[in-house]
């Protein structure tokens, strides 16, 4: 445990990342798709023969570009910084690995991001102030810069699931950066890139429905109908291609991770870690609902399509996007970086050494002046369990271990420590690493949480037997 533990009661530190990331992804992927939507729409308007329709279309694009600038330039930027803050505190080991291996990738992404911010502002503030052809070129520059950020970020995100055999062969030697491109263009890079591109175009249409839904259908029926129906069409490519791209993506995922889907299907009735499968069902259901709502409420009746309808589509898009991101995270279990680092920050090759030396052998992050089994167990809990579990909130261990005595709790910890191939937890939980003393210390701490000692003089509660 090289870093202190960031304790977030009840929800856990992982969900801090999750809540920020889901919000950020909805905006950042709109920044990519919307960055393409704007110049394509402007180009379409410039080619219109009807001057009145062209003027109305461009007026609506000015309004949409202002909405786009505020949403992506303010909320997207702030939430992006929030993700960096959260991941650095929640899993500093994994963050350090990403920075050391992709420092130049991050640098390139930041350069393109600065270009994004600048051109988005220039694009909005130069409407009707510069030559239309020059203004359109600014839009295309933004579209290219935002696409470049997606291309770079996708490589780093997919690396965390499938770093690839070439990178894993040199991992831990200090020469990982020499395999930068192998790690970047990892096995799931291309299917993920196409999937995300489809999501970006869909979100461009969904967010455009928000602004176009506010148009007055009685005063401008033809213009609103044209904009609403054109925005709906941006959802079509993604929904047609996604099933095929998803099959391609899952085919490139290691068999050990695909087994999480099988586990979910096998146990969906009893509820034993069927999260990945249930998320997949949520994505399918919400996506199908989006298609239905967009077609019947927007495409078929564009003039009656109002803001409440658009917000419903946006909410469904948020659910689908959030479920997809959560599913991607869950698919990595029990790793945070596939085959290299477990979700609690323990490196796979270090397991044997930690089992021999002890988990706390090389850490300063224990309570000063205390060598009790309880305090050591608490430090082990925070380092090995706290990344995914809380005591009373999200994935609560008190609830999981409720009703067990100390021997039963120890048997559970031993099972996690041995990490045998037939263990029901092996597919999605890292091993509990450390010596026998560490096993006992963690057992003592968990037992004290589940079966707290009664105050002196208090009589035990009698339970009637039936």
Residue 427 has pLDDT above 90, yes or no: no
Prediction pTM value: 0.90
Residue 460 has pLDDT above 60, yes or no: no
- For 463, phi then psi, to 5°, come to -110, 125
H/E element holding 308?
Answer: helix 307-331
57 within 8 A of 48, measured Cβ to Cβ:
yes
* Residue 211 exposure: Cα atoms within 13 Å on the Cβ side: 22
pLDDT cut 90: percent of the chain above it: 73
Please, what is the end-to-end C-alpha distance for the chain in angstroms?
Answer: 48
Centre a 10 Å sphere on the Cβ of residue 125 and count the other Cβ atoms it contains: 12
- For 239, phi then psi, to 5°, come to -70, -25
Per-residue model confidence as pLDDT tens digits over 105-139 = 999 999 999 999 999 999 999 999 999 999 999 99
Residue 465 has pLDDT above 60, yes or no: no
Centre a 10 Å sphere on the Cβ of residue 264 and count the other Cβ atoms it contains: 21
Query: What pLDDT shows up at residue 301?
Result: 95
Q: Which of 44-53, 152-161, 191-200, 246-255 has the lowest mean pLDDT?
A: 246-255
Over range 199-213, report the average pLDDT: 95
What whole-number distance in Å separates Cα of residue 247 and Cα of residue 442?
41
CATH fold group of domain 350-450: Cytochrome Bc1 Complex; Chain D, domain 2 (1.10.760)
Mean pLDDT, rounded, of the chain: 90
Per-residue model confidence as pLDDT tens digits over 141-168 = 999 999 999 999 999 999 999 999 999 9
Query: What pLDDT shows up at residue 4?
Result: 85
Per-residue model confidence as pLDDT tens digits over 31-43 = 999 999 999 999 9
Burial class (CB in 10 A: 0-12, 13-18, 19+), 88: middle
76 within 8 A of 26, measured Cβ to Cβ:
no
Per-residue model confidence as pLDDT tens digits over 299-333 = 999 999 999 999 999 999 988 888 888 888 888 98
Residue written as tokens 């390139």? Answer: 108
Give me the residue spans of the domains in the chain. Answer: 12-342, 350-450
Query: What pLDDT shows up at residue 282?
Result: 85
Query: What pLDDT shows up at residue 106?
Result: 93
Residue 462 has pLDDT above 60, yes or no: no
Query: What pLDDT shows up at residue 370?
Result: 61
Query: What pLDDT shows up at residue 263?
Result: 62
Band of residue 458 on the pLDDT scale cut at 50, 70, 90: low
Residue 273 has pLDDT above 50, yes or no: no
Q: Which of 153-167, 229-243, 273-287, 374-388 has the lowest mean pLDDT?
A: 273-287
Query: What pLDDT shows up at residue 367?
Result: 64
């Amino acid at each position: 445990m090289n870093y202190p533990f960031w304790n977030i009661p009840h929800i856990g530190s992982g969900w801090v990342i999750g809540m920020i990331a889901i919000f950020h992804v909805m905006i950042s992927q709109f920044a990519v798709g919307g960055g393409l939507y704007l110049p394509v729409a402007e180009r379409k308007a410039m080619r219109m023969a009807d001057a009145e329709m062209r003027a109305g279309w461009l007026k609506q694009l000015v309004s949409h570009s202002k909405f786009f600038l505020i949403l992506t330039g303010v909320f997207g930027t702030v939430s992006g910084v929030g993700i960096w803050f959260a991941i650095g505190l929640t899993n500093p080991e994994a963050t350090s690995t990403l920075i050391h291996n992709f420092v130049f990738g991050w640098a390139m992404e930041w350069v393109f991001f600065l270009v994004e911010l600048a051109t988005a502002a220039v694009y909005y503030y130069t409407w009707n102030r510069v030559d239309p052809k020059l203004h359109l070129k600014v839009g295309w520059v933004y579209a290219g810069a935002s696409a470049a950020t997606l291309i770079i970020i996708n490589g780093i995100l997919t690396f965390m699931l499938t770093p690839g055999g070439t990178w894993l062969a040199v991992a831990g030697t200090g020469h990982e950066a020499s395999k930068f491109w192998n790690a970047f263009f990892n096995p799931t890079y291309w299917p993920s890139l196409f999937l995300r591109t489809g999501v970006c175009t869909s979100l461009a249409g969904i967010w455009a429905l928000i602004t176009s839904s506010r148009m007055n259908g009685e005063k401008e029926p033809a213009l609103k109908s044209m904009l609403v129906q054109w925005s709906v069409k941006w959802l079509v490519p993604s929904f047609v291609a996604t099933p095929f791209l998803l099959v391609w993506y899952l085919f490139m995922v290691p068999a050990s991770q695909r087994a999480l889907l099988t586990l979910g299907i096998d146990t969906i009735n009893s509820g034993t870690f069927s999260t990945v499968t249930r998320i997949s069902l949520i994505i399918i259901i919400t996506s199908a609902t989006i298609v239905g709502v967009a077609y019947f409420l927007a495409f078929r009746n564009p003039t009656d399509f109002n803001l409440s309808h658009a917000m419903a589509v946006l909410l469904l898009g948020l659910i689908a996007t959030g479920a997809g991101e959560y599913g991607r995270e869950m698919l990595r279990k029990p790793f945070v970086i596939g085959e290299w680092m477990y979700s609690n920050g323990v490196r796979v090759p270090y397991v044997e050494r930690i089992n021999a030396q002890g988990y706390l052998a090389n850490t300063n992050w224990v309570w000063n002046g205390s060598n009790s089994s309880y305090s050591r167990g608490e430090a082990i809990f925070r380092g090995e369990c706290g990344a995914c579990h809380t005591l009373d909130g999200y994935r609560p261990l008190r609830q999981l271990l409720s009703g067990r005595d100390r021997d039963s709790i120890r048997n559970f910890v031993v099972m996690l420590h041995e990490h045998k191939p037939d263990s029901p937890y092996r597919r999605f939980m890292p091993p509990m690493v450390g010596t026998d003393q560490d096993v006992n210390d963690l057992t003592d701490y968990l037992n004290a949480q589940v079966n707290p000692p009664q105050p002196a003089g208090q009589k035990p509660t009698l339970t009637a037997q039936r």
